[in-house]
Amino acid sequence: MLKAGRRGTVWRNRSGMCTGAGGGLGREIALGLAAKGYAVFGIAMSDAEVRELRSFGIDVVVAPAGNMKTGGPAKTASALARVSNDMTVEQHALYGQAFDRFSTTLNSMQNNGLDAAVGPDAEQMLKAACEKSDAELNALRLRIVGLD
């Protein structure tokens, strides 16, 4: 379908979807985990694609990989404990409660494994990615890991 834009410009209605895979911690960089953040930099690029392509009617959906048996949960728990132990009294007052809740939730999720979204769950996730605003998606991410 064609429609006229400003000054007689003709625009064609377009839509579509891009999908990609990446690491889930790409947008959640914590102290001491910078290397992990760099390793999954693609997620941040996907966030940029979402914002760039949305105005053209193109949705970008990123499917983060699930847990792998790399010893990562124990390494993550150790790194989080080090960060917590190295906090100053002032940092603990400001961030301690939220950081401890984040650490507990992340460690629990990693130790129990993360379910892959398949079937109706995958459909709900894709629908949310296409229909919810950035603010709603951010709130959903926080709610999933218990930081709401």
Tell me the per-residue pLDDT of 9-23, one tens digit each, with 9 for 90 and over: 444 555 555 555 555
Check residue 5 and give its pLDDT: 42
Q: Do the domain assignments include residue 58? A: yes
State both tokens at 40: 């999954």
Residue 41 lies in domain: 1-66
- pLDDT above 80 (res 83): yes
Is residue 9, in this structure, part of any structural domain at all? Answer: yes
Domain count within the chain: 1
Going by pLDDT thresholds of 50, 70 and 90, the confidence category of residue 93 is very high
Q: What does the block give as tokens for 126?
A: 């894709």
Position 36 in a domain: yes
Q: Report the range out of 2-16, 62-76, 79-93 with the highest average pLDDT.
A: 79-93
Q: What are phi and psi of 88, to 5 degrees?
A: -75, 170
Please report, in angstroms and rounded to a whole number, the separation of the first and last CA atoms in the chain.
Answer: 42
In a domain, 40, yes or no: yes
Mean pLDDT of 73-92: 88
In a domain, 114, yes or no: no
Say if residue 70's pLDDT is above 90: no
Query: Would residue 130 count as lying in a domain?
Result: no
Residue 39 lies in a domain: yes
